[in-house]
Amino acid sequence: MSTKLILVRHGVSADTTAKRFSGGLDGANPPLARAGEAQINAAINYIGEVDAIVSSPVRRARQSADLLASRVGLPVFEEPGLAEMCFGAWEGREMVEVMKTDPEGFMGFFSSVDQAAGATGESLIEVQARVRQACAAVVSAHEGKRVAVFSHVTPIKVIVADALGAPLLSVYRSHLDPGGVSLVEFGKRGQRVLGFNLRSVS
């Protein structure tokens, strides 16, 4: 029996709109913007029935999950391993600014899986390790179910890359919209990507 994870990227926050590095719980943790609420409500219209709701504890993801929870009457289970990457010294800074002030660090980070973001943040391979553990825990707890999982751009892309058996750096070669819905199936024969950055889920 397979378990389907419906992966939903949170809606926009002020940092998303301003193209700032906005990480997990170590950062400013901005709330979901009104435009972000609209994005999530639109996504919810396509998700269909779910058996459980899991969320990153980061505010913008949790608020996104709460919008679905209030509609379907299910509790939200938080999974810390699904939080966004910690961006260290880059936290809260615009990407364009970081490119200008720390070009070597910026280019090094986006071309390496083991270089920490902003010198003191997480590396991509560290994020992959905790996201894998989080996924395994969610699948184990909700075996055979359809689970809505509210998370962030980096963790969701890592899950998809793992399911495809793609190189980890491939996460930087795809685009995932705020409120974008992806679908990954976990079964006895492994994982399958059934959709990425969708607006509808069958």
Active-site residue, 143 included: no
Distance, in Å, from the CA atom of 7 to the CA atom of 147, rounded to the nearest integer, reads 8
Report the Cα–Cα distance between both ends of the chain, in Å, rounded: 18
Question: Tokens 């889920």 identify what position?
Answer: 201
Distance, in Å, from the CA atom of 1 to the CA atom of 158, rounded to the nearest integer, reads 23
Distance, in Å, from the CA atom of 54 to the CA atom of 171, rounded to the nearest integer, reads 22
CA dihedral 90, 36, 180, 30 (to 10 degrees): 30
Active-site residue, 84 included: yes
Distance, in Å, from the CA atom of 46 to the CA atom of 177, rounded to the nearest integer, reads 15
| Active-site pick, 79, 84, 91, 122 | 84
| Active-site pick, 10, 122, 142, 152 | 10
**Backbone dihedral angles phi then psi of residue 50, each to the nearest 5 degrees:** -130, 155
The two three-digit tokens of residue 127, written as one number: 């994020």
Annotated catalytic residues are 10, 84
